[in-house]
């Protein structure tokens, strides 16, 4: 019988250990690398969700390797609809 993936291995906000696994990295080494890569634009851990948004992580790598011209954007706060 096949092993069922844990909740932290699924979805749009995987755990850091799962991000490391998906990127073929050792989780301990990934933690140090992520700090450096965040300076280059790797999406930070979302404070509300407690994890990185996986599509933005993929967009970062695609952009880094020239596979995308669009930049991934981070949430910048609530919209002020009364500003106009």
* Structural domain boundaries in the chain: 16-65
> What confidence tier does 9 reach under pLDDT thresholds 50, 70, 90?
low
pLDDT at 21: 97
pLDDT at 69: 65
pLDDT at 1: 65
Residues paired with 51 in a beta bridge: 46
pLDDT at 77: 72
Please tell me what DSSP assigns to residue 66. Answer: T
Residue 48 burial by CB count (10 A; 0-12/13-18/19+): exposed, middle or buried?
exposed
pLDDT in tens, 58-78: 999 999 999 976 666 667 777
């Amino acid at each position: 019988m096949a092993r069922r993936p844990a909740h932290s291995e699924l979805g749009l906000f995987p755990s850091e250990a799962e991000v490391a696994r998906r990127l073929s990295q050792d989780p301990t080494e990934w933690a140090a690398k992520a700090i450096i890569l965040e300076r280059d634009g790797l999406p930070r851990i979302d404070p509300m969700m407690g994890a990185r948004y996986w599509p933005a992580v993929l967009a970062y790598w695609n952009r880094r390797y020239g596979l995308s011209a669009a930049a991934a954007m981070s949430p910048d706060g609530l919209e002020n609809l009364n500003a106009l």
